[in-house]
Amino acid sequence: MEQATRRGTRRSRAVLALVTAAALGVAGCDAVGGDSPAPSGTEAKHGRPSPKPTPVWDTSPDSVAAVGDSITRGFDACSVLSDCPEVSWATGGSEEVDSLAVRLLGRAGAAERSWNLAVTGARMADLPGQMARAVERSPELVAVMAGANDACRDTTSAMTPVADFRADFRAALRMLREALPKAQVYVASVPDLKRLWSQGRTNALGKQVWKLGICPSMLGDADALDAAATQRRETVQKRVEDYNKVLEEVCAEDRRCRFDGGAVYEYRFGTEQLSHWDWFHPSIDGQARLAEIAYRTVTAAKW
């Protein structure tokens, strides 16, 4: 009887030991997740270090391509009715401007690794073609300033429809993204054309140059203040605001795109920032202000 009792006790202890071991085994498996082995040694004490995530936006890209229109070409900044890419806000080498490329790459780096592919007179419909040429250079950053010529037409009815503007801008970004998935994009807002008119209309020489065909939808009959002229300018201004909304919305769809937040549109260009040839396009000083806005946007830790 006593011997049977001792055998029963040993059996109970054995069963208890097996149950305990099984429970500990399950707990150990759950602690590290699924079928992963439990950590040992130094890993058990400190755990594996988590790798630092790679930031989506690089504040110091190593090459820059610029696309857009006459502003990016430095039109009328150096001489009348002529491009002057040397003073371009985006890629120019002028010490008076310190372009975006110079600020990012240094003067020698900008000369070697930046490209100005903008075309005077270009509209948003031309941007996909310019972007295709930019892709050939494999830039790490593409700077975009386009849209003014879509509003600067012979008449307000000839302005680019907002839906077309959106489709063309999307097509340009899609072309870049398919070819260069990690390329970054800086997008400048369209300037306040009405403000440029209000500043330039005080200069007689500027108004004579305007008659040669510079932005007639806004600058035509520059001194007219009747209801029809006022309505025409307001229509152009509203279209510019709609274009900027498109630029912001489409850019927001791409995690490697930064819109300037309307900074160029809101910048109060004065007479010193306007070309003394046409009193509409940015002067050398105006180009420098555009470069400052772009550099601030590109290099911000968060935007």
Dump the DSSP string for 263-285: HHHH----GGGB-TTTSSSB-HH
The angle subtended at Cα 182 by Cα 104 and Cα 117, nearest 5°, is 55
| Architecture in CATH for domain 64-299 | 3-Layer(aba) Sandwich (3.40)
Q: Parse the chain into domains and list their residue ranges.
A: 64-299
pLDDT, one tens digit per residue, over 121-165 is: 999 999 999 999 999 999 999 999 999 999 999 999 999 999 999
Using CA atoms, how far apart are residues 139 and 63, in angstroms rounded to an integer? Answer: 5
Indicate the helix (H) or strand (E) that contains 67.
strand 64-68
Q: What is the DSSP letter of 87?
A: G
Please list, in sequence order, all residues whose beta carbon lies within 8 angstroms of the beta carbon of residue 119, skipping any fewer than 6 positions away: 69, 73, 126, 130
The pLDDT value recorded for residue 69 is 98
Which tokens sit at 130? 């310019």
pLDDT, one tens digit per residue, over 77-95 is: 999 999 999 999 999 999 9
Q: Are 91 and 141 in contact (CB under 8 A)?
A: no
Q: Which one is predicted more confidently, 115 or 5?
A: 115
Could you report how far apart the first and last alpha carbons of the chain are, in Å?
84
Q: Are 132 and 123 in contact (CB under 8 A)?
A: no
Quickly state the pLDDT bin for 21 (edges 50, 70, 90). very low
pLDDT, one tens digit per residue, over 25-71 is: 333 333 333 333 444 444 444 456 555 666 789 999 999 999 999 99
